[in-house]
Structure 1
């Protein structure tokens, strides 16, 4: 089995358990937006019985990859059935008047794009795990019972995770849940937990985008106006701009070991090596920064 992203490799491994080997194409702390397949990736794809992809436009290179690797297995699209959000989030609308005409047109195009970062909300992760289990059961019907059992056990953990995160964010007043990140990667997470997306350094779904000086100045002003207390960098991206913006806005910056996991999980040995660990890390960093109380982990997540 081959999975495109680090999150999907983690989900697929949970479903497969001891009954298969899962290879991930994208390395930890790397982005799907910047993926360039290696010769080994092509060989892995060519040998795979199934290829698990996110879909929703996250992997525009997917068809070329399958063609180059002579993939002849089954494609499992984990985001099937999930209602997609439009990209750009509300902060683009709130300040459209500050943009020049051409920038307004660009923002409109970005908002019309569908946000592929569906996994960031645990409820969506549950849907993805169930999609993966069904898809792999079609590939290996002899293992369908095992896949279903493994998926159910993992879904229990995701449900505990969602409940715990909801409790953690409830300790922070809604008006204090103000998020500024590198790019628009946490839209589903934001909506799941009543967080306000004040803005992003790169107001784009793609982490290759470059903000203009005007966009940076506008973000600094929004941070001051909204009363946000921190800027949160992401693990896959440089924290240089986040640090500069935080300094200019006179707020804290969370980076390095405290950076959020968004586009990718982290390497082995880090808090974000798994989806469960990455989400626990993100919730802990955010709730702590906003002055809330992080509840103890339930037994099903602490082991």
Structure 2
């Protein structure tokens, strides 16, 4: 397993014996003596946790956010609060993606170890005026910036500035950053449950290998298109890390905000339509957890294709079981195939390991 960020010794308090393994659930897990109880906040974090836990006995995994639910409008249920009350470890996305978590923990009178999976990710600073720039803060990480998949085309000269608004929390949209998240989660589980450390480490290594192949596949697929033609318009500003990692040109968003519950003004809509026509962006992408009506209207006014319904992107949330975006790898394959396809080219052949993880047919 790749080198992970050291975690507090308090995680050792979560070490336990045997119990049962559960996947994401909308009901609180039954307490069981000797069970390690892990709560994951988002669909992305939940998927990473389950990949690392695998078939280990004695671990329950409870996921707060369910597929298709926007995290920006999330309100924990009574069952969620029970799960938090019983949790040994809570694993969050971080970067203020779960602003409700502190209040939920207080309401649950809970004091679990909270693991920030974003630790080590080079964050993007966000502002409506200037868009995305890397922030050189405590999350910056030499290992990430020297990632083995980077090359001259994909190494960016970023401006480092602390004065460009809040950080973009959608860190998983870069497969390279997802690897850092997985490292952090694996380290937390290993320290909490050292008896199963070898299994966690092996599962993490296997999954990290798949993520590395996924990252390389996205780069190869995108690189078929000239940089100036890699134009993207989405429902809201959720793909900043994807745009940054894979060298896309972000034209704009239907909702010019990190929050998918915000609304665009009539002026902003008119400006986006004009930008689409000016740049030649070929499509507008709706998102699976956002009402597509505004995206469809803007696409119609601009005279371009709209991708919605089954062809919407998975941004803030994964899809339900049986959909292409039910897992992290599946969501990234789905999104990339649609985005690259909108530029008029076929994506590169999907590697076998990536296809298996995404439950799609390899080319």
User: TM-score under structure 1 normalisation?
Assistant: 0.92
**Shift of the alpha carbon at 1:90?**
7.3
Residue among 185, 204, 215 paired with 1:162: 215
Q: Which has the higher contact order (CA 8 A, sep 6+)?
A: 1
Q: Is the 8 A contact 1:74 1:139 kept in 2?
A: no
Looking at structure 1, the residues matched to 275 and 131 of structure 2 have their Cα atoms a distance apart, in angstroms, of: 11
1:14 to 39, 48, 51: 51
User: C-alpha displacement at 1:89, in angstroms?
Assistant: 6.8
- Give distance in 1, aligned partners of 2:229 and 2:182: 32
TM-score under structure 2 length normalisation: 0.77
Segment drifting more, 186-195 vs 167-176? 167-176
Rate the CA distance shift 1:89–1:151 in 2: closer, same or farther, 3 A.
Answer: farther
Distance 2:285 2:211 in 1: 24
Distance verdict in 2 for CA 1:184–1:110, change over 3 Å: farther
Q: Is the 8 A contact 1:284 1:294 kept in 2?
A: yes
Of 214, 218, 239, 1:186 maps to 239
Does residue 302 (structure 1) correspond to residue 355 (structure 2)? The answer is yes
Q: In 1, distance between residues paired with 2:185 and 2:82?
A: 22
Query: Once superposed, which parts of structure 1, at least 4 consecutive aligned residues long, lie more than 6 Å away?
Result: none
Instruction: After TM superposition, give the deviation of residue 111 of structure 1 in Å.
Output: 4.6
Rounded Cα–Cα distance in structure 2 between residues aligned with 1:208 and 1:144: 40
For each residue in 1:119-146, what CA deviation from the matched residue of structure 2 results, as whole angstroms up to 9, or x when unmatched?
Answer: 1100000000000011122211222221
* 1:89/1:187 contact within 8 Å kept: no
1:81 aligns with 2:101: no
Q: In structure 1, what is the equivalent of residue 275 of structure 2?
A: 222
Offset from partner CA, 1:52-108 (integer Å, 9 cap, x none): 101111111111111112323211110011111111477659xxxxxxxxxxxxxxx
Aligned match of 1:37? 76
Q: Output the CA distance in 1 between the equivalents of 2:237 and 2:317.
A: 14
Per-residue deviation, 1:301: 1.7
* Residue 343 (structure 2) aligned to one of 275, 281, 290: 290
* Of 141, 160, 163, the match for 2:194: 141
Residue 50 (structure 1) shift: 0.9
Asked if structure 1 preserves the Cα contact closer than 8 Å seen for 2:50 and 2:61, the reply is: yes
2-side partners of 1:277 and 1:89: how far apart? Answer: 30
Equivalent-residue separation in structure 1 for 2:273 and 2:79 (angstroms) = 43
Determine helix, strand or coil for the equivalent of 2:95: coil
**Residues 220-279 of structure 1, C-alpha deviation per residue, up to 9 Å, x if partnerless?**
000011011100001000110001000100000000000000100100000000000000
- Cα 1:110–1:282, aligned 2, differ >3 Å: closer, same or farther? farther
Aligned to 2:145: none
Secondary structure, aligned partner of 2:337: helix
Structure with the bigger percentage of helix: 1
Q: How many residues align?
A: 288
Unaligned runs of 5+ in 1: 94-108
SS of corresponding position for 1:201: strand
| Counterpart in the other structure of 1:129 | 182
